[in-house]
Amino acid sequence: MADNARAKKLADLIREVVAQKLQRGIKDPRLGTHVTITDTRVTGDLREATVFYTVYGDDEERASAAAGLESAKGVLRSAVGAAAGTKFTPTLAFVADALPENAKTIEDLLDKARASDAKVREVSSGAAYAGEADPYRKPGEDDEGAAAE
């Protein structure tokens, strides 16, 4: 079992090697400049690596990029093995990162909250306080009210 520092170091190396190889070494047209490696995680035994990626484009481009990454998996693993110099090169699994979808969902929720705040601000713009302007009792007021009774 490897320590977490070694797994983190190997994950960083895998991310860099895969990104460079996709940018310069792979000639597959499905893997154009619109594929971005966002994160890499390696298991504790350094046998398996999960590479997270995003694709700029529509669903068709995402599907073709996934197929391209799957077909280039062997070449990428060989490049990682040459760069890492470890006894066993981890197997690579490519997973589409849900970051863009999550960011869009959060942005939509923030837009709804802004619209709701604007509506509340508009309704309350001409509103007045329900009670007096100064609702707090001051010392001596209770004595005056009790004396009047």
Tell me which fold the domain 4-97 belongs to.
Answer: GMP Synthetase; Chain A, domain 3 (3.30.300)
Query: d(Cα 33, Cα 83) in Å, to the nearest integer?
Result: 22
Block mean pLDDT (10 aa), the chain, length 149: 79 91 80 82 91 86 87 89 88 86 89 92 80 75 56
The pTM (predicted TM-score) of the whole model is 0.68
Sorted by where each begins, the domain ranges of the chain are: 4-97
Residue 47 tokens read as 């046998």
